[in-house]
Amino acid sequence: MNPYTLTKQPRDISAELAARHKQLRKQMGYTQANMARRSGVSLGSLKRFEQSGEVSLSNLLKLARILGKLEEFEQVFAIPENLEEIEKLFSDEMRGK
């Protein structure tokens, strides 16, 4: 993480995802070659992901499916059920209420 910011940067999160993926893959007993074959992701792409955190969204989702984590992605960019209430609160704050 950048020592000059309080929040994680995208590259920090990518590196953490790659490390967790690698750990989970090993815990489940998959070699890189086996994981690549099962997921349909090329071995080179899988190795690059685990080393650098760089991966396409499509390949990340394929890997997540094999590890039983695909459902967790369904919440990314989810719209809150109470969106209208949140928008009203934000509007009220902007008007100084």
pLDDT at 2: 59
- Over its C-alpha atoms, the chain yields an Rg (Å, rounded) of 18
Alpha carbon 64 to its chain centroid, in Å, reads: 9
Mean pLDDT of 27-35: 98
Has residue 97 got a pLDDT over 70? Answer: no
Residue % of the chain over a pLDDT of 90: 67
The C-alpha atoms of residue 1 and residue 70 are separated, in whole angstroms, by 26
The C-alpha atoms of residue 97 and residue 94 are separated, in whole angstroms, by 8
The C-alpha atoms of residue 68 and residue 11 are separated, in whole angstroms, by 24
The C-alpha atoms of residue 64 and residue 66 are separated, in whole angstroms, by 5
pLDDT at 80: 74
pLDDT at 82: 72
The C-alpha atoms of residue 62 and residue 60 are separated, in whole angstroms, by 5
pLDDT at 14: 96
Closest CA to 68 of 38, 48, 47: 38
Has residue 59 got a pLDDT over 60? Answer: yes
